[in-house]
C-alpha cells in the first residue's frame, strides 16, 4: 500500500538517522526508516524500511489503535534492537523475550508471518502477530497487553499504572485459564508468561495494585476476585505465601479468600476448559532473548503494604 512519507508518518528523517548512527550506533532508530501510517478506522500501520542493510528483517504491525502509537514504536524498536544483538528472526517462527522492561513482569511473545503486499516498496515485510496466529489475524493484542503490563510495573505513578493496566485489559480481556494452570515457580521468581498469554493476569494484578495505592479498595477487591476467578490454579499456588507475614489489606484479603466460592460466583464460562492460544506450551521452544521474567515484578510481587 503506497502512502505519503512526511514528518507525521516518519519517525526520523535521513539526516537524523545519519547522526544517530554516528553518535549512537546501537540505537535501532538509526538503522532504517520507521513509518507510522494512518489506516481507516482510527488505526495505524507501523512498519520499517531498509533494515536489510543491517542484515535484519523489515517488520510491521497492522491495526494498531491510534492511542497506542507510542507503545507500537517502543515495541518495534525493541524487537529490531534485540533481533540484532540477541536473537535471529525468521518468517513463520515464534519469538519471546524481555522487550518491554529489563526486569519484566512477563515476557513478550509473538510470531512473524510473511505478508502479501502487492507494491514493490512493501514486498517482503513480515507481520508481527500474536504467538501462533495467522497472518490475517491483525493487531497483536496479547503482545501489546503484555507490553503495557510490563511498562506499568516499572511506573512509579499509581495513576499511570492504573491507566496502562486498564488499557491492557481493554485490548485483551483474556479468557479463564484452565483450573490447574499455575505459574512456573521453578526459578528464583515466578514466571507468569503463560498465564499472561491466556488471562492477562499481569494487567489484572497490576490494576489491583494501582487501585489499592489510590485507595480505591472496593474496586481493588473486585479486580482481585476476577484475577482469582480467571486463574484459580495461580490463586491456590499464591495464597499460602500471600496470606502470611502481616496484617495489611493485601494479607487479610488472601487469608480470607475462599477461592472455590469466588470461582463459583465470578468465573465466566469459556470452553471446557478454554483452549490455550495456538503455539503456546507445545512444540519446540521459541527463540528467546533478554532476561527471565521476575514473577510479580517490582510492584506486583505483593499488592499493597499499607493497612
Say how far apart CA 292 and CA 204 lie, in whole Å. Answer: 20
> Looking at per-residue confidence, does 58 or 11 come out higher?
58
Considering the domain architecture, whether residues 180 and 111 belong to the same structural domain is answered as: no
The domain total for the chain is 2
Same-domain check for residues 169 and 296: yes
Whether residue 113 contacts residue 136, with contact meaning beta carbons closer than 8 Å, is answered with: no
The secondary structure element, H or E, covering residue 129 is: strand 126-129
Residues 111 and 181 in one domain: no
The residue out of 144, 174, 202 marking a domain boundary is: 144
pLDDT at 22: 54
Q: Contact 288/251 with Cβ under 8 angstroms?
A: no
- Tens digits of per-residue pLDDT, 56-105? 888 999 999 999 999 999 999 889 888 777 667 788 889 988 888 777 77
Residue 7 has what pLDDT?
Answer: 53
Same-domain check for residues 21 and 120: yes
- Same domain, yes or no: 184 and 102: no
Do residues 242 and 173 both lie within one domain? yes
125, 180: one domain: no
Contact by Cβ (8 Å): 140, 127? no
Same structural domain for residues 173 and 296? yes
pTM here? 0.83
**In terms of pLDDT, which residue wins out, 11 or 299?**
11
Instruction: Confirm whether 44 is domain-assigned.
Output: yes
Domain endpoint, select from 144, 172, 189: 144
Half-sphere exposure at residue 272, Cβ-oriented, CA atoms within 13 angstroms: 0
Question: Quick one: 205 and 169 in the same domain?
Answer: yes
Q: Is residue 154 part of a domain?
A: no
Q: Kindly state whether residues 69 and 197 are assigned to the same domain.
A: no
- Say what the pLDDT of residue 16 is: 58
pLDDT (0 to 100) of residue 270: 55
Q: Tell me whether residue 125 is in a domain.
A: yes
Q: What is the distance, to the nearest Å, from the Cα of residue 275 to the centroid of all Cα atoms in its chain? A: 20
Q: Residue 74 belongs to what domain range?
A: 14-144
Residue 222 pLDDT: 95
Domain assignment present for 287: no
Mean pLDDT for 258-272 is: 81
**4 in any annotated domain:** no
Q: What pLDDT is stored for residue 8 in this prediction?
A: 67
* 49 closest CA partner among 30, 29, 33: 33
Predicted local confidence at residue 86, as pLDDT: 63
Instruction: Look up cell 483452549; give the residue.
Output: 275
- Per-residue confidence (pLDDT) for residue 10, from 0 to 100: 60
For residues 217 and 262, membership in a common domain is answered with yes
Mean pLDDT of 157-181: 96
Question: What is the average pLDDT across 151-160?
Answer: 94
**Which pLDDT score is estimated for 198?**
95
Evaluate whether residue 260 is within a structural domain. Answer: yes
The arithmetic mean of pLDDT across residues 180-200, rounded, is: 87
Q: Residue 158: CB partners within 8 Å, gap ≥ 6?
A: 209, 210, 213, 214
Last-in-domain residue among 144, 175, 204: 144
| Average pLDDT across the chain, whole number | 81
Amino acid at each position: 500500500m503506497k502512502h505519503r512519507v512526511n514528518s507525521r508518518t516518519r519517525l526520523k528523517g535521513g539526516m537524523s538517522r545519519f547522526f544517530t548512527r554516528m553518535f549512537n550506533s546501537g540505537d535501532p532508530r538509526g538503522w532504517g526508516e520507521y513509518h507510522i501510517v494512518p489506516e481507516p478506522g482510527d488505526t495505524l500501520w507501523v512498519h520499517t524500511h531498509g533494515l536489510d542493510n543491517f542484515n535484519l528483517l523489515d517488520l510491521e504491525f497492522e491495526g494498531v489503535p491510534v492511542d497506542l502509537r507510542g507503545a507500537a514504536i517502543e515495541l518495534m524498536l525493541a524487537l529490531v534492537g534485540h533481533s540484532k544483538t540477541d536473537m535471529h528472526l525468521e518468517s513463520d517462527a515464534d519469538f519471546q523475550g524481555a522487550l518491554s522492561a529489563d526486569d519484566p513482569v512477563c515476557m513478550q511473545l509473538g510470531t512473524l508471518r510473511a505478508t502479501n503486499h502487492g507494491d514493490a516498496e512493501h514486498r517482503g515485510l513480515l507481520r508481527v502477530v500474536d504467538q501462533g496466529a495467522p497472518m490475517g489475524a491483525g493487531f497483536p493484542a496479547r503482545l501489546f497487553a503484555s507490553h503495557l503490563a510490563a511498562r506499568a510495573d516499572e511506573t512509579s505513578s499509581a495513576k499511570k499504572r492504573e491507566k496502562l493496566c486498564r488499557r491492557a485489559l481493554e485490548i485483551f480481556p483474556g479468557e479463564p485459564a484452565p483450573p490447574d494452570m499455575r505459574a512456573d515457580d521453578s526459578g528464583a521468581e515466578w514466571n507468569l508468561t503463560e498465564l499472561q498469554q491466556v488471562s492477562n493476569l499481569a494487567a489484572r494484578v497490576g490494576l489491583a495494585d494501582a487501585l489499592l495505592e489510590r485507595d480505591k479498595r472496593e474496586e481493588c477487591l473486585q479486580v482481585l476476585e476476577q484475577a482469582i476467578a480467571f486463574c484459580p490454579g495461580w490463586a491456590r499456588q499464591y495464597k499460602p505465601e500471600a496470606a502470611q507475614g502481616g496484617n495489611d489489606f493485601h494479607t487479610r484479603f488472601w487469608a480470607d479468600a475462599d477461592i472455590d466460592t469466588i470461582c463459583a460466583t465470578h468465573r465466566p464460562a469459556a470452553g471446557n476448559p478454554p483452549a490455550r492460544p495456538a503455539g503456546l506450551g507445545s512444540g519446540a521452544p521459541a527463540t528467546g532473548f533478554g532476561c527471565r521474567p521476575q514473577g510479580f515484578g517490582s510492584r506486583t510481587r505483593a499488592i499493597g503494604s499499607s493497612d
